[in-house]
Structure 1
Amino acid sequence: MDTPDLSAPPHAPSAPGGKHPRSGVTHEHVRHTTNFTVVGNHLAQHPHLSLLAIGLGLYIQSVRVGTPVDIKSLTARFKEGATRIGAALNELEEYGYLRRERERIPDGRIVTRTVSCNDLASAARRRTSGRPHAPARSERPPRRPPAAPRPLPAVPQPGCKAPALLKQATDVLTGLRRHDRRLLLSACDTTHLAPGVAAWLEREVSPAAVRDALTTGLPAEGVRRPAALLAHRLTVQLPPPPPVGPRPAAAPPPVRHPLRNCDRCDRGFRAPDDEPHCRDCRTAAAHRT
């Protein structure tokens, strides 16, 4: 009998039927006996969930009871930001893998309890038995498209849209955030509002006066649509055009007399050429008389 060659490598596991696929994945699996989680393929291979939502669903089903899975805790655990994690949680809730219930605890506070569901059929039965539950995706109506953003109100238009005038108006709008951080405008909103500010500047209103008109007396409880608020103010508070005709002549500058020395005290002072003495010497001479 021949001696077996113990140094020969073992055969790799073969595909079903003894044939290797020409492409795609092959599996080399080991059966787990500890530290594992059974997850249904209806989640792992879900046709509509995003990859982040599937991975987050697998993680939530694998953790111990009591592990925090709120957005703040998950953001600290994973490198994805709060916005993406929040959207993934909403996906899981929409398709029935997650539900969040608000309940009052003994001290009177209201907290949110997160329930992970790995069996959608069981979750549906709980819902029909009267417990609050977000129904599975197949039971819910089709998702409505997001509502279109409301258009901004129209703003006054200047008589001449000179590039320099619009640039000055844009500078006024982009600087509003320095006076009130709630007035941070998008580039699209700034483009829409710039002609309205230009109409004010065209009416001989200074940039500082325009800024004061837009930022004074804002509501204290919050500004939901800052661009719409500014468009409203630019329209309803638009000042009238300046008066027709030449501007009044400016007052002449004050006369500045040359500097000279007093003939009595030699102190420097300003006075006309025919005045030889400073004010103090003139006052002292008047008292002597």
Structure 2
Amino acid sequence: MHDNVRHASGFTVIGNHLAQHRGLSLVALGLAVHIQSLPAGAKVGIKVLAGRFPESETRIAAALRELEATGYLHRSRVRLPDGRVVTRTVSYNRPGAEAPAPTIPRQRAGRAAAPAAPAAPAAPASPVPPRAPAPATERPPPTSVPLPAPVHGPAPTARTAPPPPLPQPREAVPELHRAAAAILADLRRHAPQLVLSERDVLALTPGVATWLERDAHPDTVRQALVTDLPFPLKHPAKLLRHRVTTLLPPPLPGTQELAPVRSGVLVIPLQNCDTCDRAFRSRHPGHCRGCRPDLPTAA
């Protein structure tokens, strides 16, 4: 039974093809109804929707993909006049149906037809020409919102030069390669979109092995690869190759590089002279100033 009251304002018309869709989840149905009830120009990004509803960003992203697959949403990348590239979302209340041609509103049609109603007799010629009627002011439809032009050509971040080579370890250690392959294969447990093929794992293993060779902890490597992933992620192997190459940490410094600094000046260590056993300051062992064979005082 339904106890319905007719809405006079503040309502959205939803077709049964959406409300009773058998291929969409409840989250996707709810998002479709919510998006169709918003005015044109409203923000419907994943983070905005996650802040509005209790569902997580992962569930909302999956629901948006469902709506895209069934034709209720279309997302495209567009460039704004200030140069920024954003995502434009178009919501369809009836996928596959063409929008009707724009018609003249009734109010304007009535005003235009009003002067032609009375049949006036033909007036004699007058020396003063009749005044032309003022053109009607065209008002844009209430739902028309200027949309930015679609992006043509490569995005501002598109790569024009060949990518840098993948890092290679100095020594081929089987243990490092096995650990690197395990880290790559295990990434899909932490980020489901990072599903790699065996070929991709074999190709990226030397780069991750270089991280491990430089004493990077496996958790550090995993955090650098799965943090802040873009959406949608179309090429996970290319993204991981880029991060493995560009985020590679430098080798750990040695004891000489980590010498203590006092008052902002590097403290040079003490050495014992190989000839007289006298202490002198130098970064390398050898002879003191008085015992150097290349000085004239030692001759």
Shorter-chain TM-score: which interval? 0.3 to 0.5
TM-score after normalising by structure 2:
0.37
Which structure: larger Rg? 1
Is the helix fraction higher in 1 or 2?
1
